[in-house]
Amino acid sequence: MKKDTKTNAMRILDKEKISYTPFYYECDEFIDGVHIADMLGQPYESSFKTLVMQGKSKNYFVFVLPIAEEVDMKKAARTVGEKSLEMVHVKDIQQVTGYIRGGVTSIGMKKKYPTVIDESATLFDTIIVSGGMLGTQIHLSPEDLRKAVDGQFADITLTHAE
């Protein structure tokens, strides 16, 4: 991939005059975000994944959380006012978002879905999210991500008992 390749997400951030740093890496096969962070020597806590879910209402919702964490389905559903949520199947992800698995970002999906970013993002000056295609990342402030997707911060991860 050429270093100056702009993804749809990057074009949107440019248009909104939101500051970010693109990062490119070689990716032959996407396993998961933890694998990518290990490969690049990036911290799990500030590396975020994007999950897309569908509510009982048939509406879609986007959740952005640290790569090593699991979403708390009850907290997530409550946050978006749904009775329950289920993950969008991998085979449907491109149709719903316009992105392929491993390249899904909350910025610039086919439609603007309600987006919730785990509140732990606010602990960092910058977080890492997918850039909108395999082999790209965007490093930006949590508040800038929230503005770009018109999202909200909330506690949406499982709390692990010590």
- Spell out the per-residue pLDDT of the chain, length 162, in tens: 455 678 999 999 999 999 999 999 887 776 788 888 988 899 999 999 999 999 999 999 999 999 999 999 999 999 999 999 999 998 999 999 999 888 899 999 999 999 999 999 999 999 999 999 988 999 999 999 999 999 999 999 997 543
Dihedral angle of Cα 5, 51, 78, 119, to the nearest 10 degrees: -60
- Ordered domains of the chain (ranges, CATH): 8-154 (3.90.960.10)
Asked whether 98 and 62 are in contact (CB, 8 A), the reply is: no
Instruction: For the chain, report the end-to-end CA distance as a whole number of angstroms.
Output: 43
Query: Using CA atoms, how far apart are residues 60 and 15, in angstroms rounded to an integer?
Result: 25
Say whether pTM exceeds 0.85: yes
